[in-house]
Amino acid sequence: MIPSNDTIKPVIPSTTGERSHSTTFLISVLLFQQTLGGMTFPVAKFGLQFIEPFTFAFYRFVLSSLVLFIMVRLQNHSRPIERKDFWKIVGLGFLIIPFNQTMYLVGQSLTGAGHGSLLFATAPIWIFLGALIHLKERPGLRRTAGIIVALLGVVIVMATGALEISSEYLWGDLIVLIAVLAWAYYTILGTQLVRKYGAIRVTAYALISGSIMYFPFGLYRAVNLDYASVPAAAWWSVAYVALGVSIAAYVLWYWVLKFMEASRIAVFHNMQPFLAAGVAYFWLNEPLGLSFIIGGTVAIAGVLIAEL
């Protein structure tokens, strides 16, 4: 095991002036971040029973953008964002709002909570491939093996019937898969920008720019919602996805990218399906089976192979 007092320096020299952090601390942050993300699936599934997806997305984006804007304004930034980088950040906003978050909400409303989380478990493969192609990362054999083993755990769950494979969920699954690919490229293309300008600023401007693109359409859908039929608990669902995921989880993900390679942190995505399914079991009464337990154990083993 890597000693807890080891430190990881930024993969590329950081211009934000942050110090290095221990491996144990960074992994702890990633586990917390994945817990926040894993709870997205069952929590959003509950809220989407009462709020249609585009309106849910509208309030999520408005709330998260306002909070992030305030956070950025309260910070002092010694380095202004260059014009060419500004348009790259706008591009990240296009990926994360219309293609990732909106399509996820739409897809999740058309499929089961377990389906969405398991499809997101393929994200490490896409991030891994993207890091090889775009970031020229060269992960070792052990890390590669860990990602493959972790993905195998997901395949075990899907292949042994823990998921219901039917045409009823086909379109929802395809839409969620597009959201997964968008997330992978949001990670890859944002890596250099985060190391240059910091996680909070890049996340904030990306989400704000994406929310501006979405605002006219989202407002139209929000005006036509039957608010009388929406319980208070559904609005708490919106608040969690906006604050716990769009802000906390997304900022933490980019923050860790300043200190660890994208291909390395990608394997932690395989923790999400099992965290999500556990919450769905207790909250939404979605069943768990022996194959789920076996697959979950294999997935966790993959993470340990890659990291220990």
Q: What are phi and psi for residue 260, nearest 5 degrees?
A: -135, 150
- The position carrying tokens 């934000």 is 16
Question: Which pLDDT score, from 0 to 100, does residue 4 have?
Answer: 39
Neighbours of 18 (CB within 10 A): 14
Q: What are phi and psi for residue 256, nearest 5 degrees?
A: -65, -30
DSSP 102: I
Q: Give the integer Cα–Cα distance in Å for 133 and 128.
A: 9
Q: Give the integer Cα–Cα distance in Å for 195 and 192.
A: 5
Question: Which pLDDT score, from 0 to 100, does residue 18 have?
Answer: 59
Bridge partners for 21 per DSSP: 8
Encode the chain (308 residues) as per-residue pLDDT tens digits: 333 344 455 555 555 555 567 888 988 898 888 888 878 777 888 898 899 988 999 999 999 999 999 999 988 887 889 999 999 999 999 999 989 888 877 887 787 656 666 677 778 888 888 888 888 877 778 777 877 887 777 677 665 554 555 566 778 878 888 998 998 999 999 999 998 999 999 999 999 999 999 999 999 999 999 999 999 999 999 999 999 999 999 999 999 988 888 877 877 776 766 666 676 677 666 666 666 677 777 777 776 776 66
Inside any domain, residue 6: no
Q: Return the SS3 of 14.
A: coil
Inside any domain, residue 3: no
- The position carrying tokens 């042994």 is 160
Report the number of distinct structural domains present in the chain.
1
Inside any domain, residue 7: no
Question: Which pLDDT score, from 0 to 100, does residue 114 have?
Answer: 62
Inside any domain, residue 252: yes
CA 174 to chain centre: 17
Inside any domain, residue 1: no
Q: Return the SS3 of 135.
A: coil
Inside any domain, residue 8: no
Range of the domain at 257: 18-307
Show the CA angle centred on residue 57, arms to residues 120 and 102, nearest 5°: 45
Inside any domain, residue 49: yes
pLDDT per position as a tens digit, 44-88? 888 988 999 889 999 999 999 999 999 999 888 878 899 999 999
Q: What are phi and psi for residue 133, nearest 5 degrees?
A: -80, -50
Inside any domain, residue 178: yes
Whether residue 118 contacts residue 163, with contact meaning beta carbons closer than 8 Å, is answered with yes
Question: Which pLDDT score, from 0 to 100, does residue 266 have?
Answer: 76
pTM: 0.77
* Continuous segment of H or E residues that includes residue 7: strand 7-8
The pair of three-digit structure tokens given for residue 163, joined into one six-digit string: 């998921």
